Amino acid sequence: MMKLIQAFLLTLSLISIPAHADVMLLIHGYLGDASSWEKSSINDALHQRDWQRAGMFRGSPQGPQLYVTEHENTGNLVYVATLPSDAPVMIQADTLKSIIDIIRETHKDEKLILVGHSAGGVVARMTIIRHRLKDIKALITIASPHIGTGRADQALDITANHGPFNMVKSFVGGSGYDALKHSRGLMIDLRHPQPGNLLYWLNSQPHPDIHYASIIRLDNDGAEGDYYVPGFSQNMNNVPALQGQSSTFIAPTSHFLVRQDANTILAIIEQW
């Protein structure tokens, strides 16, 4: 009888132990912000699958500011961050590192899953490598230009100073042209790897032994890639330091975030 009681008490104690929780940080792409994950309904879809909204970070020269959402202290949590998305990759990576430090302090026993869209995926990878981050469980990137994009070269050509014609381009281009002009440092970082540039350095660095997953877009013709980033660049297996280490998932949609991305993200995590 005593053994039955002890077994019953042991069962109750096991039931009361909370399941291991994950913490996810969503990182937007170029000209996006934390609201990109709300506007696309990704956060809503994650919430319906028991991932609670934990808070929003806004990077600033004074350090990250955290706006906390009411949530229970148990279960899987999702943070979103706003980075200076028109800044060079290094500046964004340093801002992201400060945000990750705060999350680590709050969730000391959980490893972090980073999810980056477009340029945000490159920023996340740079943060891991530049700051030699530990306790990162995984990196998931969505349509990210890991091998660069020709659109960066086009943006640099458009915003190059060609004498008097530059005044005409400024007038015709309007706010879109101004945004590109202020983003020249980032566009230089997103050019195809060649000796001396950022992606060449980043892609040759040793990467930690964590989970990597590449969500690759599929265009209307059935070819991998989208208008902004070719398919081979979205695949982290084409990074020399990561050959064969990234799982890949095809998403037949445009470059921009869609609600279905939430299901893909969770399907990837469930495989681990």
Comparing CA positions, the residue from 225, 253, 232, 190 lying closest to residue 42 is 253
Which pLDDT does position 154 carry in this prediction? 95
Share of the chain above pLDDT 90, in %: 75
Ranking 168-172, 175-179, 215-219, 235-239 by mean pLDDT, the lowest is: 168-172
Alpha-carbon distance 146 to 128, whole Å?
14
Which pLDDT does position 31 carry in this prediction? 96
In order of start, what are the domains of the chain with their CATH numbers? Answer: 19-149+190-271 (3.40.50.1820)
**Does position 168 have pLDDT exceeding 60, yes or no?**
no
Alpha-carbon distance 28 to 60, whole Å?
16
- pLDDT, tens only, 4-62: 333 333 333 333 334 468 999 999 999 999 999 999 999 999 999 999 999 999 987 77
The residue with tokens 């993200």 is: 265
**Averaged pLDDT of the chain:** 89
Share of the chain above pLDDT 70, in %: 86
Sign of CA dihedral 37, 23, 85, 140: negative
Q: The pTM is what? A: 0.89
CB 227 within 8 Å of CB 150: no
CB 193 within 8 Å of CB 200: yes
What is residue 46's three-state secondary structure? helix
Which pLDDT does position 60 carry in this prediction? 76
50 φψ region: left (φ > 0), alpha (ψ -120 to 50), beta (else): left
Task: Over range 213-241, report the average pLDDT.
Answer: 96
Which pLDDT does position 73 carry in this prediction? 60
- Pairing mode, if any, of strands 76-82 and 65-68? unpaired
